[in-house]
Structure 1
Amino acid sequence: MPVSQWALETFGQRAPVIRQGIADALSTALDNAREAQAAARTDHTHPFGFTLMSRKFEALAETFEDMGGVRVVKPAGSPHELVLLGGKLLFPFRYARDRSVSVMSARIGEGRPSALVQALFHRFGPEPVMRQLTLHDVAPHAVPVAEALTDLPADTELVLIAYACNAHAGLLDAWWGEAELLDRTGSLRWHHCEPIPLPAAGQAGLTPLPATAFDQGAVPAPALNPRTGAARLVPPVAEPTPITRTSRAEAASGE
């Protein structure tokens, strides 16, 4: 089924498969994180958060490991491996725990972006709409990291995967696109952002985990698609509607 023009320009004819793969990978990571939370038998959500932190990167790598033109890289200073797919570096992050926060107001991370994140945006993010200070002026501590990223092709482009989720409701929304990092608080300016259709269970809403302690009663198992691997992906069934789009030409002219 057709996908957006941005997706086709970014990923070519594989765009439907890649979009479906991202949705499946996020669902798998959320499934694993919720299982860890249930097994921990605690009301505190640390098990969910710690598991999700690692599994979101690992699930993406597992999903696309058999696809041609894929390289899994581990940038200096990062504990996680990132997927470089056809020159596009996939970077997933949670922007909200519920739907009260708009993705257009998303911040990358809950605190100050790490030196690695700042360097990734500076080196591989879209051309800023407005002229900004150099990375050395804004974040001197990120400069050595940026220099270490020279192992990646100079024409690499950063593709963000923003999602909202929590331990009780599971995966709520997912988006992908391109954005520039505005400041040290992690604020973003989206150049393009559009929804990623989720598996049927995700769109309908997973069966919530009980709000009481996890040792009270049986925990329902979320009905998620367990498939991984690019060879088993299937095209999605709907075309997303972009939220906003700023072309590079418009960005350069300041319009």
Structure 2
Amino acid sequence: MLVSQWAHDTFGQRVPLIRQGIAEALSVALENARDAQKVAQTDHLHPFGFTLMSRKFEALAEAFEDMSDVRIVKPAGSPHELVLLDGKLLFPFRYAKDRSISVMSARIGDGRPSALVQALFQRFGPEPRMRQLALHDVAPQAALVAEALAGLPDGTELVLIAYACNAHAGLLDAWWGEAELLDRTGSLRWHHCEEIPLARESAARAAEQAPAAAFDQGVMPTPALNARSRAERLAAPAGEAIPIRPEAASGE
């Protein structure tokens, strides 16, 4: 998959590595959530949802914790740790449970976005293309959370990771980019959004691109020696040459 100008400007030469890390982290979080659902042995999807909510943040942190320019931050009042990678704050969220909703119509959060989400957009989101709601217009707690985020470096940028999945079909797709928060319902206006290739797609693409085995790389067939018995050879017609026995040719 080609690297866009936005991705290159945001993450430089490490774009393929970071995309792969994100895809693998989402896959790990999803499989953990599906395992929790299976162990719970209930038709209610609460185990899946609660596990996914936590593991998506943890799996991202685990995927990038060994990078030298990674910082794991835990905003005050938030139970989740966020990955700050080279000044880019990664924030994953599930925008849909199936393919009926386009990522361009994605909303962040179930219902009203949390105070943390609102504060993240206010401080680190892209410059809005229309008037953005003031913190006191959205949630009173958002102003307090914004103060708690003051310790993050100047110039920090919010990178959204939007994905669709469910307990039965698994991870359907994933996207990343930057957007502004429009209203109290979590509506977004994407400034840039592009798809993240998933791990299974990368494997399938590699299989498709693998060169076919050349003719001369196959196993050569081994011809059968002395296919006829000794009696058949001795009884051969006079006009037919009798093959030389290998034993005689070897001098034994």
- State the TM bucket, normalised to the shorter chain: 0.7 to 0.9
Give the % identical residues: 81
**Distance apart, 1:106 and its partner CA:** 0.3
User: For residue 95 of structure 2, what is the aligned residue in structure 1?
Assistant: 95
For the Cα contact (< 8 Å) 2:132–2:181, is it kept in 1? no
Instruction: Note the alpha carbon deviations across 1:30-50, whole angstroms, 9 max, x for none.
Output: 011111111111111111001
Instruction: Note the alpha carbon deviations across 1:187-239, whole angstroms, 9 max, x for none.
Output: 000000000000116998xxxxxxxxxxxxxxxxxxxxxxxxxxxxxxxx9xx
**Distance apart, 1:132 and its partner CA:** 2.7
Unmatched segments (≥5 aa) in structure 1: 205-236, 238-255
**Distance apart, 1:139 and its partner CA:** 2.9
User: For residue 246 of structure 1, what is the aligned residue in structure 2?
Assistant: none
**Distance apart, 1:92 and its partner CA:** 0.2
Instruction: Note the alpha carbon deviations across 1:9-67, whole angstroms, 9 max, x for none.
Output: 00111111001100000000001111111111111111100110100000000000111
Output aligned runs, 1:169-188, within 5 Å.
169-188=169-188
For the Cα contact (< 8 Å) 1:172–1:202, is it kept in 2? no
Residues 13 and 145 (structure 1 numbering): CA distance in 2 closer, same or farther, change over 3 Å? same
SS of the equivalent of 2:72 reads strand
SS of the equivalent of 1:92 reads strand
SS of the equivalent of 1:112 reads coil
Residues 153 and 34 (structure 1 numbering): CA distance in 2 closer, same or farther, change over 3 Å? same
| Cα separation, 2, equivalents of 1:6 and 1:36 | 37
SS of the equivalent of 2:95 reads strand
User: For residue 44 of structure 1, what is the aligned residue in structure 2?
Assistant: 44
| Cα separation, 1, equivalents of 2:29 and 2:17 | 18
The root-mean-square deviation of aligned C-alpha atoms, in Å, is 1.7
User: For residue 197 of structure 1, what is the aligned residue in structure 2?
Assistant: 197
User: For residue 74 of structure 2, what is the aligned residue in structure 1?
Assistant: 74
1:119 equivalent to 2:89? Answer no
User: For residue 142 of structure 1, what is the aligned residue in structure 2?
Assistant: 142
- Paired letter, 2:49: G
Larger CA Rg, structure 1 vs 2: 2
For the Cα contact (< 8 Å) 1:95–1:106, is it kept in 2? yes
For the Cα contact (< 8 Å) 2:181–2:189, is it kept in 1? yes
| Cα separation, 1, equivalents of 2:64 and 2:140 | 34
- Paired letter, 1:141: Q
Q: Which has the higher contact order (CA 8 A, sep 6+)?
A: 1
**Distance apart, 1:138 and its partner CA:** 3.6
SS of the equivalent of 1:168 reads coil
- Paired letter, 1:145: V
Question: Which protein has the bigger helix share?
Answer: 2
Residues 201 and 170 (structure 1 numbering): CA distance in 2 closer, same or farther, change over 3 Å? farther
| Cα separation, 1, equivalents of 2:145 and 2:126 | 19
For the Cα contact (< 8 Å) 2:118–2:142, is it kept in 1? yes
Residues 133 and 54 (structure 1 numbering): CA distance in 2 closer, same or farther, change over 3 Å? closer
So what's the TM-score if we normalise by structure 1?
0.77
| Cα separation, 1, equivalents of 2:75 and 2:141 | 16
For the Cα contact (< 8 Å) 1:33–1:47, is it kept in 2? yes
- Paired letter, 2:168: H
So what's the TM-score if we normalise by structure 2?
0.78
